[in-house]
Structure 1
C-alpha cells in the first residue's frame, strides 16, 4: 500500500510577510551570545578539561580560582578563569564579573 502526502484542502496561509522575513533574515541564527561573551577554542578546551577533572563542581571551582586571581590582583588569570567559568555556567560568571571592582 502506498502513502500519499497531499496539501490540505483549505487554503492555509503559513507564509510570513515579506517585510517581516527581511527583518529576520538580517539577524544571525546563533545570536544567543554577545561578542563580549564569546571566547576562543582554547577557553572551551580548557573548560572541558576542567569539567573532566572536577565534574559537576567545575564551575564552582573555576569561580573560586577567578576570585583568588582577583584577590591576588592578577587580571590575566582572572579573565582566563572567568572565561572558563562562563563556558560552564553563564549566570555564575555574570555574578562574578558584576562583583568585580
Structure 2
C-alpha cells in the first residue's frame, strides 16, 4: 500500500477559510458624543460614575429624584445637571422625565 502526501491548503487561498473569516470593522464606533468646549461631558461622566459608586443600581432613580426636586424648586441648572447624570445612567428614565416636564 502506498502512502500519498497531500499538503494542507493555504488559508489565504481556501474558499472556505475566506467565507468563514470575519470581516474587519471599517471604523470603530464612538458613543462619547460631541464634548462641549468646556469639558462638561467629561465632568458629567465623572460625576455619574461617582454617583453610581455611591448609590449602586439605585443611582439612576436617585438622580431622577434629585432632578425632580430641582425642577420643582425652580433651579434649572441643577435640574439639567441631575437630568444629565440620570441620562448617563439610564437614558430611558431620563427621556421619560423630560417628556413629563415638557408636557
Whether TM-score is above 0.5 comes out as yes
Taking structure 2 as the reference length, what is the TM-score of the superposition?
0.66
Q: Distance in 1 between matches of 2:94 and 2:60?
A: 9
The higher radius of gyration belongs to 2
Unaligned 5+ segments in structure 2 are 1-7, 20-25, 35-39
Q: Distance in 2 between matches of 1:42 and 1:69?
A: 19
- Where do 4+ consecutive residues of structure 1 move more than 4 Å? 32-35
Q: Distance in 1 between matches of 2:70 and 2:63?
A: 10
Taking structure 1 as the reference length, what is the TM-score of the superposition?
0.67
Q: Distance in 1 between matches of 2:9 and 2:15?
A: 17
- Residue 99 of structure 1 deviates from its aligned partner by 1.0
Deviations 1:39-85 (A, max 9, x none): 61000000000000000000000000000001101100000000000
Task: Considering Cα pairs closer than 8 Å and 6+ residues apart, tell me whether 1 or 2 has the greater RCO.
Answer: 1
Q: Distance in 1 between matches of 2:68 and 2:33?
A: 23
Query: What does residue 91 of structure 1 align with?
Result: 92
What is the CA RMSD across the aligned residues, in angstroms? 3.1
